[in-house]
């Protein structure tokens, strides 16, 4: 082990995780430059956000996992409290109440929950023998359902799904029995009509458009059709950087945020997509590796839950852009323009690194 690696080890940085993450961020800046119409100013801003997020990751990585476990319930409680505040007084942004203005800066409590929920579930379950009994299962489920419902009521369906997925991932990894899983699946299927009834009109339209985009090609189906055209016209090698007509001629909606993957597909083609998927796969495999090698239940449940959530992020976004899933406002991890999801992701990676790098210190 050379000195440089040793230094990074001491700084609690996990190189196999750090390296692909930084590469993906780099690719993100390149794509954004094209997607945002070669706006250098915007790229600088995003670069600064990446730097800040990396710094935060570094700080989180220094915290020992035991400490993280101890903070989990407080962190969760704070998040739920802020969610309640948002529902009460939150600013209205894009027709949905998501932001809490704290004067100095705005925070999106639903983002906090993406980490707080797997943390608290992992903390709650790690305390006792696994797999959890029925009572503990119900309590853990409530810990997940309460914030999910609050987020869905903002309304912010995408984040609610991700927060729920993060909690469920931890539950799944904790070894919940198959018959319970089957039962929950059945219950969910039965609940679909109820969910449909509770959905906002625009949410229903999204689902309908997903099922048949040609139904309203100039209205709400437009995004899906144009996104498919962008992806498909990219072909094997893509149209080349800065040459994507769909995005540059404004046919593609939300092209620097939720639909940035379509721009990437159009300009870099199937080859480019393969590269990006490989990098993501590398991150996920490394994450799973960290989870498998975590030394306590909390660490392994949390690491596993976070990395599965990361996958859900990628899958839902790509599924949406390629027309396989309904349009939900989920950005492409590490690439889409914007700071909030970036910070959340980096904090998650920081936790993964903390779990992995503090391990040896414990074993020594």
Partner 1 sequence: MERQLVFRDVSRESRVFKRRIVMAGAVMAILVLLIIARLIDLQLIKHVHFITLSHENRVKVLPIPPIRGLIYSRDGILLADNRPAFSLEIIPEQIDGMDGTIAELTKIININVVDTQRFYKLLQKQRRFDAVPLRFRLSDEEVARFSVNRHRFPGVEIAARLTRYYPLGPLTAHAVGYVGRIDENDLERVDVSNYSGTMHIGKLGVEKAYEDVLHGRVGYQQVEVNVRGRILRVLDRTPALPGKDLFISLDASLQTTATEALAGRRGAIVAIEPETGGVLALISSPAYDPNAFVNGIEPESFDTLRRSPGRPLFNRALQGNYPPGSTIKPFLALAALEYGVRDPDEQTWCPGWFKLKGSSLIYRDWKRGGHGNTNLPRAIIESCDVYFYSLANDLGIDRITAFLNRFGLGKKTGIDIMGEADGLIPSQDWKLKNWHLPWYPGETVINGIGQGFTLVTPVQLASATATLSARGRHMQPRLVMRIEDPITFSPAELPDATRSWVEIIEKNHWDPIISAMVDVVHGPTGTARTSGRDAPYRFAGKTGTSQLVSIDHDEENDGHELPEDLRDHSLFIGFAPADDPRIAVAVIVENGGSGSAAAAPIARKLFDHYLSGSGI
Rule CB under 8 A: which residues touch partner 1? 128-131, 169, 172-175, 226, 228-236, 245-246, 249-251, 265-266, 269-270, 273, 277, 281, 284, 288, 291-292, 297, 300-301, 304, 308, 311, 315, 318-319, 322-324
Taking the complex as a whole, the smallest distance from the CB of residue 260 to partner 1 amounts, in Å, to 15
CA 19 – CA 15 distance, rounded (Å): 6
Neighbouring C-beta atoms of residue 141, cutoff 10 Å: 16
Taking the complex as a whole, the smallest distance from the CB of residue 232 to partner 1 amounts, in Å, to 3
Taking the complex as a whole, the smallest distance from the CB of residue 211 to partner 1 amounts, in Å, to 16
Taking the complex as a whole, the smallest distance from the CB of residue 280 to partner 1 amounts, in Å, to 9
Question: Under a CB-based contact definition with an 8 Å cutoff, are residues 100 and 82 in contact?
Answer: yes
Residue partners of 145: CB distance under 8 A and separation at least 6 = 164
Question: Under a CB-based contact definition with an 8 Å cutoff, are residues 207 and 193 in contact?
Answer: no
Which neighbouring-strand residues pair with 91?
A: 99
Taking the complex as a whole, the smallest distance from the CB of residue 333 to partner 1 amounts, in Å, to 14
Neighbouring C-beta atoms of residue 89, cutoff 10 Å: 10
Cα distances (angstroms) measured from residue 94 to each of 14, 137, 331, 332:
38, 36, 16, 19
Which of 63, 130 has the CB closer to partner 1?
130
Taking the complex as a whole, the smallest distance from the CB of residue 263 to partner 1 amounts, in Å, to 13
Length of the chain: 364
206's tokens: 């999204």
Taking the complex as a whole, the smallest distance from the CB of residue 353 to partner 1 amounts, in Å, to 18
Which of 89, 182 has the CB closer to partner 1?
182
Helix, strand or coil, per DSSP, at residue 106: strand
247's tokens: 């995005």
Cα distances (angstroms) measured from residue 114 to each of 66, 123, 315, 330:
20, 15, 16, 13
Which of 66, 91 has the CB closer to partner 1?
66
Which of 40, 129 has the CB closer to partner 1?
129
Residue partners of 212: CB distance under 8 A and separation at least 6 = 221
Which of 290, 342 has the CB closer to partner 1?
290
Rg of the chain (C-alpha set): 21
- CA angle, corner 217, sides to 213 and 221, nearest 5? 45
Which of 226, 340 has the CB closer to partner 1?
226
Taking the complex as a whole, the smallest distance from the CB of residue 325 to partner 1 amounts, in Å, to 10
């Amino acid at each position: 082990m050379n000195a440089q690696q040793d230094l990074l080890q001491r700084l609690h940085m996990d190189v196999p995780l750090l390296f692909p993450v930084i590469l993906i961020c780099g690719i993100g800046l390149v794509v954004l430059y094209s997607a945002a119409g070669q706006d250098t100013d915007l790229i600088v801003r995003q670069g600064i956000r990446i730097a800040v997020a990396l710094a935060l990751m570094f700080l989180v990585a220094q915290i020992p996992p035991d400490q993280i476990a101890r903070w989990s319930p407080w962190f969760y409680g704070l998040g739920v409290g802020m969610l309640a505040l948002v529902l009460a007084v939150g600013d209205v942004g894009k027709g949905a109440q998501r932001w809490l203005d704290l004067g100095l800066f705005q925070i999106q409590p639903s983002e906090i929950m993406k980490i707080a929920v797997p943390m608290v579930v992992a903390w709650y379950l790690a305390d006792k023998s696994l797999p959890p009994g029925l009572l503990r299962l119900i309590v853990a489920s409530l810990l997940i359902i309460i914030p999910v419902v609050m987020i869905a009521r903002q309304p912010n369906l995408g984040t609610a799904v991700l927060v729920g997925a993060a909690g469920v991932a931890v539950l799944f990894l904790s070894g919940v029995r198959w018959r319970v899983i089957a039962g929950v699946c059945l219950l969910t299927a039965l609940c679909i009509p109820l969910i449909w009834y509770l959905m906002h009109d625009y949410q229903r339209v999204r689902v309908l458009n997903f099922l048949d985009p040609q139904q309203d090609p100039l209205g709400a189906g437009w995004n899906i059709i144009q996104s498919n055209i962008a992806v498909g016209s990219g072909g094997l090698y893509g149209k080349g950087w800065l040459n994507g007509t769909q995005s540059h001629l404004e046919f593609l909606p939300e092209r620097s945020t939720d639909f940035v993957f379509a721009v990437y597909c159009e300009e870099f083609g199937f080859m480019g997509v393969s590269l990006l998927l490989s990098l993501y796969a590398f991150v996920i495999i490394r994450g799973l590796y960290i989870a498998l090698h975590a030394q306590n239940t909390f660490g392994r449940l949390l690491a596993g839950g976070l990395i599965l959530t990361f996958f859900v992020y990628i899958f839902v976004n790509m599924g949406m852009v390629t027309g396989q899933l309904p349009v939900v406002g989920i950005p492409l991890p590490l690439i889409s323009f914007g700071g909030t999801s970036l910070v959340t992701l980096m904090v998650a990676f920081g936790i993964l690194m903390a779990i992995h790098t503090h391990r040896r210190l414990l074993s020594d």
